[in-house]
Structure 1
């Protein structure tokens, strides 16, 4: 890792994102490129150096096209980032998991020599509910089922089956065209749950699933968007299911990347060399004759085609001339980012394993309500990772890093005992406070958005094309969806050039 970038990442981690804005526009030379190259003339300008933009660039270059990738940050990866722990060790501050049917991120990682290893899942999960802590097995007949009352489990199973059945009726490439799209899109996920998850413990389980998946509350989400998201949790041969979204073994959290997930975009960017320009936030995209002028801090690129590989609300912060069509602009005004942070406490050993625990918690209280064992495959140290999501994250957005740390360690001690109070180090990534993310893991659709504006999500505007995980028809919101969107948009651009 470049020394200067490691220092910047460490500083951003300690401040919970406050340093990101200050350092993001500093023009520095890195292994991937430099913003000192003031002008470039290429066939395709790619805005965004995350997995989507880098994948699109890879495929365009492979087809013999000239490309420039403009990345606002001082690193590649977007919502995928490794956080340094010292002594060459890292942990993941953003997207990290990979599971079955996530074929495209797996193929990309394989091609770059980035291996995977199983997420630690040996031992029992913990349920903390109503002030009581209960351990439960992950390998029962029904899988990892929290030990709530029988009526709640039965109701939750019915609700899950209903959601999966409805999701099968949602066309992945056009969810707004589903036969019941208007009915589903006019209500929140919360209102539907209130009518169907009628046992309180079942409602609790579905609420936890919702915040864990979207980093948003059920009241914020369109039911149609939730159904689409479930349908997208699969591939061409395996329909999506809610279980695949939420499970560890056999689900989206099944595996992790050796060396951290950012190894994938870092190695991918290395194959593109100086085509990737860092510290170059794009400010405007202007049509000039038959080309576009893409103006970023420190660099201007002229191109025949432009790929914007950013979440919709961030793509909206660029100035476009001519103006974007109203439908596209209205769409971006209505798709907010989820609210999420990740807090990782590091210990000499993963001590919870000796107690027969796998480090995974589901809780009804606290700032951290779900956790994972984020230790490296050799268990050379222990790491507990907690998600801070939705209302809990928003409540701490303005808090100091020390205040967040104190709240997180209090929760960890409740779940895992007094040893959790004294980590050897602690890192925090608050995506809400990142100037070039402003939340995560995905931009979501509230009621009324998909049926009114969804068609503008992928539709090109002139010679501007849209990528990013939010545009994917499979694994929307995940690293796999980002890769798929890059592959899709590259084909789209190549067909048009």
Structure 2
């Protein structure tokens, strides 16, 4: 029998953040991680020339204050990300390749876009990100897809098309399958009165110079022997008289309380006794967008010689778009809509088709990378997704239990914040630890 004060399930950013704060407050904590490494959806590898290549989460925005504070505590540094790079975007559309501004917009489309974004901004100001359920029109806003709403307020077909292409680049769900209330809530959390449609200059302006996965590795080093790897959880028992965790190996751990940071997809496979039906129903209602990530390393940023910034948007192909991770390294996401073609293709063929798309985007120099790596987060058994996805009706379906706790069972993870990403993991991990210590 393995006994501790608190068991933390999962050694991603959320679990590590919670465990680190508990440890530093004198709590005897044990972290159980199914993988053989820490970090969850942040992971990195070192190339032969010493450059770090990020295979998971990378970038943050100025409203990501919990993550920024943690980076400082760990002695790491933030540097500008891709959003400020000079050069033109590339658009791979159904009618071919285009460089520069959005190619299919005319003056009427631009005016329509501005009107729609102004109305979206007005609605953002009316939503409390901590309590969107209190909005007087919450149910209707949640049932509306972003696409439906755009048409309701008079968006031209090209405006809807542009927003859908933007969602593909983010590997989010289509505007036709995204709750309007969820999108409003996401932008409201920035606290920026000018927040409109998703903007790289708001959400993706900084990265950790030493590598985003280094944040997890530093915390794991601090926790040391308190981490147990290869610990796949199959059953959890929650009780005020004591909690228990059973592993696939049959090994059993006990504690006074549990912090669960396992993503909602894999969590469905775990039997949990002692939670209320309402809590379990809320957790079961959450979704992850099924996404894979592609990272490609070249000797240098050759695209800059052609006046390009490395950012692209793809209406066709498997990738939704690209961005510059750091010098010579491109990142891309395969959106949910394209996972079937991606996952059903032989690995060698996937490699060739990805290079074909990169050549179509950036020219023949893209044919010979130093490295091309894929992380199929959509089917990773301990992730089953990448970012939180909110389809119409999901915000109300998950309900106000979202992100709250049912002591002695505490919940954290990117799923539990407004819109996922690394900030959501750190913010909710530290909040769960604080709630437990307060109790």
Give me the TM-score of the superposition, normalised by structure 2: 0.93
Is it true that 1:353 corresponds to 2:315 in the alignment? Answer: no
Structure-to-structure mapping, 1:378-393, within 5 angstroms: 379=327, 382-393=328-339
What is the aligned residue count? 436
1:33 corresponding residue in structure 2: none
Aligned equivalent of 1:410, options 356, 363, 377: 356
Q: Report the equivalent of 1:122.
A: 86
The equivalent position to 2:143 in structure 1, one of 186, 193, 203, is 186
Which ranges in structure 1 are unaligned for 5 or more consecutive residues?
1-38, 138-144
Counterpart in the other structure of 1:142? none
Structure 1 CA distance, aligned partners of 2:362 and 2:377? Answer: 26
Unaligned runs of 5+ in 2: none
Residue 446 (structure 1) shift: 2.2
Counterpart for residue 309 of structure 1: 261
**Structure 1: distance between partners of 2:154 and 2:359:** 31
Q: Secondary structure at the match of 1:413?
A: helix
Q: How does 1:260-299 map to 2 (within 5 A)?
A: 260-287=211-238, 290-298=241-249, 299=251
Kindly state the Cα deviation for residue 108 of structure 1 after the two structures are TM-superposed.
0.9
Which residue is 2:421 aligned to? Answer: 478
What pairs with 1:382-461 in structure 2 (closer than 5 Å)? 382-442=328-388, 444-461=389-406
Is 2:155 the counterpart of 1:198? Answer: yes
User: 1:223 corresponds to which residue?
Assistant: 180
Residue aligning to 2:432: 489
Return the offset for 1:146.
Answer: 6.6
Out of 110, 119, 125, the position equivalent to 1:153 is 110
Q: Aligned match of 1:319 in 257, 271, 275? A: 271
Listed one character per residue, the Cα deviations across residues 399-448 of structure 1 (whole Å, up to 9, x for unaligned) are 22222222211111111111112222211111112110111122x23222
Q: Which residue of 1 aligns with 2:199?
A: 246
Q: Compared with structure 1, are the counterparts of its residues 332 and 276 closer, same or farther at alpha carbon in structure 2 (3 Å cutoff)? A: same
CA distance in 2, matches of 1:160, 1:212: 19
CA contact 2:285–2:398 (8 Å) conserved in 1:
no
- The separation in 1 between residues aligned to 2:104 and 2:65, in whole angstroms, is 33
Structure-1 separation of matches of 2:193 and 2:170: 18
How far the C-alpha of 1:80 sits from its partner, in A, is 1.0
- The alpha-carbon deviation at position 239 of structure 1 amounts to 4.9
Contact 1:126 1:133 in 2 (8 A): yes
Distance 1:310 1:168, change over 3 A: farther
Relative distance call for 1:246 and 1:193 in structure 2 (3 A) is same
Structure 2 counterparts to residues 134-153 of structure 1, below 5 A: 134-136=98-100, 148-153=105-110
1:480 and 1:129 map into 2 onto residues whose CA distance is 32
Cα distance between partner residues in 2 of 1:494 and 1:462: 12
SS at match of 2:19: helix
> In the aligned structure 2, how far is the partner of 1:439 from the partner of 1:183?
27
2:44 pairs with 1:90: no
Alpha carbons of structure 1 residues 414 and 113: separation in structure 2 relative to 1, 3 Å: same
Residues of 1 paired with 2:123 and 2:335: CA distance? Answer: 26
Matches of 1:330 and 1:254 in 2, distance apart? 36
Name the CA distance, whole Å, in 2 between partners of 1:486 and 1:432. 23
- SS for the counterpart of 1:78 is coil
Aligned to 1:18: none
Alignment check: 8 A CA contact 1:371 1:385 kept = yes
Q: Tell me, in whole angstroms, the C-alpha distance in 2 between the residues paired with 1:360 and 1:218.
A: 21
Q: For residue 100 of structure 1, what is the aligned residue in structure 2?
A: 62
1:196–1:390 Cα change, 3 Å? farther
CA contact (8 A) 2:295 2:329 kept: yes
1:11 aligned partner: none
Q: Which residue of 2 aligns with 1:19?
A: none
Residue 317 of structure 1 aligns to a residue whose secondary structure is coil
Asked if the contact 2:8/2:19 (under 8 Å) is kept, the reply is yes
Distance 2:240 2:323 in 1: 53
